[in-house]
Chain A
Amino acid sequence: MNSKPHGAPLLEVERLVKHFPVGQGLLNRTAGTVRAVDGVSFAIGRGETLGLVGESGCGKSTTARLVLRLIEPTSGSIRFEGREITKLGRKELRKLRREMQIVFQDPYDSLNPRMTVRRIVAEPLVAHGVYERDAGRIFVEELLQRVGLNAEHADRYPHQFSGGQRQRIGVARALALRPRLIVCDEPVSTLDVSIQAQIINLLEDLQEEFDLTYLFIAHDLAVVRHISDRIAVMYLGAIVEVADKLELYKNPLHPYTQALLSAVPAPDPARKPQSERIILRRDPPNPLELPKGCRFHPRCFRAEEVAAAGNEESVVGGGGHLVPRRCAEEEPALDARGWGPGHETACHFAEVRTVP
């Protein structure tokens, strides 16, 4: 389980698990368990950006919150600069929070509408007792300028700003304590296209200037490709593939990654005739009843191909079609099996497929 980061790891996550019990009925008996994060391992090097992609409900945002210990993991280990943080007490955790910050998806929900921008940006400083009156004022104004706003904006309220400007305020707040790691949870997905690029460029500039490390969570594969050094693809609570970004986009190994890449429409009418697109059948399964074996097998076209070739013992899988017995029964582990350096995937029958 070593998805190799570039440089020494700042953050290492190992076999991280978060199960949510789902209550039902009058007595709120536990009716089932959603395995939102189901044994996730990855590492991020200093100054690196790891992109975490996947569709809604795959557990990427839960992973982000676990890393920041905003929610408690069921099991597994999280190390920040080599230090285990899952067991830290309140006081130590507080100190740690100066090092790790988050930029949220929705700049409308994540800023308190009753606070001035000055208070919003200064709040982390105040909370950690490092806000000094005069120096703080100047510091906040400088920070606002750094993220592309004006010092005069400090005394306004969030509703006086556009979506892109609000996200700049969110970035300024995350930056206030000079953290080492920033978790960006879909930071541009609610913004207009012409504004997205502004925020992405800002995040890139700040990374260089402040030597930041990013865990960048998004569902937009083009955005992730642009900003990341390495990318991990999640499906139903597990990482199914991880690789350097160019390697991942050039030689995708996991059928789910291939389908994801194939599904993205290219903004060029001359390319990619639609007939070559991989269209997955069915919807993702109910997270309460994860499929046995490989969690992707009920939707997997590769499993069907292998079964149809007839060299593998096959059974009827969770999707109602013939799949190799291994796919239906044995959960594949994330391994490197001699592909490009640092390229790992969790598939019994992985093979490179160039996505049109």
Chain B
Amino acid sequence: MSDLYVQFKTDLGIVRAVDGVSYTVAPGETLAVVGESGSGKTVGALSVMGLVPPPGRIVSGSVRLGGKDLVGIPEEELRRVRGKSIGMIFQDPLSALNPVMRVGRQISEAVRIHQAVSRRQAKTRAVELLDLVGIPNAAARADQYPHEFSGGMRQRVLIAIAIANNPSVLIADEPTTALDVTIQAQILDLLKTLQQSYGMALVLITHDFGLVAEQADRVLVMYAGRVVEYAEVDLIYKTPLHPYTLGLIASVPRLDVDRERLTPIAGHPPSLIHVPSGCAFHPRCPWVKQLCLETTPSLNAGARASHLVSCHFAGSLPERSPPREGGGIRQRG
């Protein structure tokens, strides 16, 4: 993805959902896209699939899959890519399945759209896929409806559909947010195994820093539609450079570390219609200076060439000092 801009024209103004985002993901690699609600992480993923809902549209930029640009190609052609070369898993497994169609049929349809196989072959493949994603009695379960499946099992079905045509890229949008933690562990384990055996590139969209630490090779942190930090996972945790990343890591309670008191980020995420001037994070930043209000920082390499950050003062922030609570400029709310 390079320099992608996605905007929604609304009565209230233009929503800049994705505001110049670039990233790459290699076969077998996991890229985590981290951000809060409204950071543009989901819209970014949808634009890869050509699924940005109206009135949203890709204003400029490109999404290349194996060198071929997917932005602006005819819907017909896009349909051949979607579900075949790129699979997608959504957050809510219930609303992503058709409630009145047998589960096996939903998987075999996904197969038949992209592969010239008979109905019977597709059905066999569906059962194979259900088995592969760890559903017991796959043959019998294929004849059941989604409501007969638990949340974790539904997510397995969606994974089966997403990988039905051996995609080279799998996009998982908060794949475990709706699931219980013991089920989440099962699903993540499954995704990892599948990724390793098929060499898929995985784009994992999440707000959970724990998931990121365990799953990702590289991390892209988004804020207000823009990339604020982009680096290998170890660097993000060991030497976070952007005040927002620092704030996120400091604000999460942890199982393995005792914290007397959490240090929250002041204020709340901005509206994407009225993105703050200069650096979009400036109203919440404890280290804000005049320059931050005036000039939008660009994404540049920090101490290492592979560690990108967009902050005017990334190199010179007081080392590890926690942002003061209630700091930043008060939001007019």
Contact = CB atoms under 8 A, between A and B. Distances in A.
Interface string A339-356: 000000000000000000
A263 B237 contact: no
A264 B210 contact: yes
Contacts of B333: 153, 161-162, 165
Contacts of A209: none
Contact of B248 (A194, A198, A227, A269): A194
A325 interface: no
A249 B257 CA distance: 11
Interface string B195-226: 00000000000011111111100000000000
Contact of A263 (B184, B249, B253): B184
B213 A269 contact: yes
Interface stretch (B2-10, B76-84, B262-270, B298-306): B262-270
A280 B188 CA distance: 13
A193 to B, nearest CB: 6
B234 A193 contact: no
Nearest to B237: A269
Contacts of B213: 265-269, 271
Interface string A280-301: 1001100000000000000000
Contact of B234 (A163, A264, A269, A274): A269
A153 to B, nearest CB: 8
B249 A267 contact: yes
Interface in B149-182: 150-153, 180-182
Q: Which 7 A-B pairs have the closest CB atoms?
A: A265-B210, A197-B264, A226-B253, A55-B180, A197-B262, A197-B251, A263-B185
Interface of A: 55-56, 153, 161-165, 192-198, 200-201, 204, 219, 221-223, 225-227, 249, 259-272, 274, 277, 279-280, 283-284
30 contacts: A55-B182, A56-B151, A161-B333, A165-B268, A192-B37, A193-B248, A194-B264, A196-B251, A196-B264, A197-B251, A197-B252, A197-B263, A197-B264, A198-B264, A200-B262, A201-B264, A204-B261, A221-B181, A225-B253, A260-B182, A262-B185, A264-B255, A268-B213, A269-B233, A269-B234, A271-B213, A274-B189, A279-B186, A280-B185, A284-B150
